[in-house]
Structure 1
Amino acid sequence: MGKRSLLGIIVGTVSGVFLLVAALTSWYTVDESEQAVILTFGKIDEEVNTPGLHFKLPWPIQTVETLSRETFSLQFGYKEENGKVVATNKGDTKMITGDENIVLADMVVQWKITDPAKFLYRAYEPEQILYNATSASLRSVIGSSKIDDALTSGKAKIEADVRESLASLMKKYDIGISILAVKLQDVDLPNDNVRKAFTNVTDARETMNTKINEANKYRNKRTKEAEGEKDALLSQAEADKVARIEKARGDVAKFNALYEEYKNAKDITKQRLLIETLEQVLPYTHIYIMNDDGNTLKYLPIQPIEKQATEKKTEKGSGSE
């Protein structure tokens, strides 16, 4: 075999290998949950977010780095093994509150990659940077909070403050990470004696709140009852007022009518008023009308006649039955 034949075999082999490498490295796929960065001679050239089959220049001209677009969970102060929560180094979770008490706090951070180029090449180990920023944010917020807030009702505010601080740090570092949510997993005390004391305090506070709620409920009930009684009294007073006004108007009308009669016949009206007054003052007394000389006048006894007529009607009704 001559030199030319050997050279031809070598060139053919190299060409075949090159073509094979070019064929194998000239395409790539991006899954729906992935994003990609194309590098040309090591320099960022393009970001690809469209899923599917894509083509590029063969290696080593262009290379592809793919990253997930899904949400990641950063577990600070603990980790999960076989579905169980296992505490890590307590030095990470031990913190001092604003009123100089020690607590153990761990949390989970939900985050995702929003800029793959910055995440890959802006900083070294961006996940470690996120972990350290989480520690700094949590310690800062716990350090300005009271222990009662950290253990009981102030957890929601602590989570909101940590998220705001951590998002601000990620924006400042500019490493392509966005914070979605933070959640305190557990805030506890370092030993059993202190834990028991604070448990008693918490129970007492809950009892106090229960008593306050019951008192407020009773106060509201009595207030509503008093308001109902007040409305009833006002309604009754209003009705009495209307009734008295109408009665006064009737008395005025009666008096005006009587006064008109009095102007037309003063003596007769005067005697009539006198007799009616006597009948009202002395309802069971027989009235006799006297002359000026002291003699009794004869008059028709209307009351006995009315009584007899009433008795006859009663007897007649009984007999018909």
Structure 2
Amino acid sequence: MMSIKRIYTAVFLIILAAVIGSVALTSWYTVDQSEQAVIMTFGKVEEGISEPGLHFKMPWPIQEVEKISKETFSLQFGYEEKDGEIVEFTKDTKMITGDENIVLADMVVMWKISDPGKYLFNSNDPQDILYNATSASLRSIIGSTEIDEALTSGKGQIELEVFELLTSLMETYDIGISVTSVNLQDVELPNAEVRKAFTDVTDAREMEVTKTNEAERYQSQRMNEAEGEKAAIMAKAEGEKAARTERARGDVAKFNSIYAEYANAPELTRKRLILETMEEVLPYAEIFIMNDDGNTMKYLPIRSESSTPKPPATTEGSENNE
């Protein structure tokens, strides 16, 4: 039979081997490129390790290591993609805009673990907190945005404001999560009838803008044409004014020269003017022989109408001279 001393020795050696094996197996660990680790001493978080490679620690159960991924995660708010199919959660995405219209809005939030210790121990479910914070942030911003902006050109501004608000909430909650970006997927109306009504309103507004622009262009065109016509009339009037002024000066000069001659020889000048006038008038006169001895007046033209010379066409200037 084995002695009691040998039994104790064997038990001691077994325990010592177990301890040595445990120390050898639990005193080192490796961190991969895509991982980060946190060391806990008797359950208390000591430090975070982010450098990849082989690291050493005190054996279990004194110290433990928790490894967490360093990758960027994606949170799908309002929908879930499974096996290539998209499942929508309308209850989460239904929101009221600033002008009291209902829209459906979903979003993708990109996030990563910035502090492993806080992520593990500051909350029971940090991802659920992130989901609820995303909902609160998106609802807050949509609630202060009018429907036209939410459905059209305001999506970029909504994303920016949601990112700022969500980042602030994550800092306040202090759960070791940092938000890297947000992407507003869809903002749409809740059903086909509402979408059609809104589309009709949008089309009417676009038509109003189009017609207004066309009217302004037509107004501008007509104003330019009117200004051009005005300038042309003014230029023509100025030209006519100058022409008439010059003709008037010529008439005055002619009259003054004739008056000077008249003053020197009145009788001779008077006869010359009468002869010149008769010379101009008589060539175009017609002579008729009248016989009024009965009830019907008879006349005999000496010169036929076809042979009667026509006076030359007078211009405005010659009329004025006469």
Q: TM-score, normalised by structure 2?
A: 0.63
Aligned to 1:35: 36
Alpha-carbon distance change, 69 to 207 in structure 1, aligned in 2, over 3 angstroms? farther
**Paired residues, what number?**
222
Q: 1:181 to 1:65 in 2, by over 3 A?
A: same
Report the alpha carbon displacement of residue 209 of structure 1 after superposing the two structures with TM. Answer: 6.1
Unaligned runs of 5+ in 2: 229-322
The alignment's C-alpha RMSD in Å is 2.6
Looking at structure 2, the residues matched to 27 and 207 of structure 1 have their Cα atoms a distance apart, in angstroms, of: 73
SS in 2 for 1:109: strand
Instruction: Please name the residue that 1:197 is paired with.
Output: 197
Shift of the 79–214 alpha-carbon distance from structure 1 to 2, 3 Å rule, reads farther
Decide whether aligned partners of structure 1 residues 210 and 24 sit closer, same or farther in structure 2, where only a CA change above 3 A counts: farther
Structure 1 unmatched runs, 5+: 230-321
Q: Percent identity?
A: 61
Is residue 76 from structure 1 mapped to residue 80 from structure 2 by the alignment?
no
Deviations 1:216-271 (CA, angstroms, capped at 9, x unpaired): 9x79xx8xx99xx9xxxxxxxxxxxxxxxxxxxxxxxxxxxxxxxxxxxxxxxxxx
Q: 1:4 to 1:180 in 2, by over 3 A?
A: same
Once the two structures are superposed, what CA deviation does each residue of 1:187-210 show, in whole Å capped at 9, x if it has no partner? 122221001112233344555666
Counterparts of 1:147 and 1:71 in 2: how far apart (Å)?
A: 32
- Relative to structure 1, the CA distance from residue 204 to residue 53 in structure 2 (aligned partners, 3 Å threshold; closer, same or farther) is farther
- C-alpha distance after superposition, 1:116-154 (max 9, x if no partner): 122122222111111111111111111111111111111
Q: Which residue of 1 aligns with 2:149?
A: 149
CA shift for structure 1 position 6: 2.1
What does residue range 135-214 of structure 1 map to in structure 2 within 5 Å? 135-205=135-205
Output the amino acid matched with 2:157.
K
**AA in 2 matched with 1:171:** E
SS in 2 for 1:123: coil
How far the C-alpha of 1:213 sits from its partner, in A, is 7.9
Aligned residue in 2 for 1:250? none
Distance 2:181 2:205 in 1: 30
Distance in 2 (CA, whole Å) between partners of 1:66 and 1:127 is 17
Give the Cα separation in 2 of the matches to 1:214 and 1:39: 73
TM normalised by structure 1 equals: 0.63
Superposition deviation, residue 167 in structure 1: 0.8
Which AA in structure 1 matches 2:134?
A: T
Shift of the alpha carbon at 1:162?
A: 0.7
Q: The residue matched to 1:104 in structure 2 has which SS?
A: strand
SS at match of 2:58: coil
* Equivalence for 1:313: none
After TM superposition, list the pairs within 5 Å mapping 1:106-145 onto structure 2.
106-145=106-145
Q: Distance in 2 between matches of 1:116 and 1:211?
A: 60
Residues 223-238 of structure 1: matches in 2 within 5 Å?
none
Superposed counterparts of 1:2-41, under 5 Å: 2-41=3-42
What CA distance in whole angstroms lies between the structure 2 residues aligned with 1:26 and 1:176?
27
Over 3 Å counting, the alpha-carbon distance change for 1:212 and 1:15 in structure 2 is farther
Q: Quick one: distance in 1 between partners of 2:209 and 2:160?
A: 25
| Counterpart residue number, 2:47 | 46
**Residue aligning to 2:300:** none
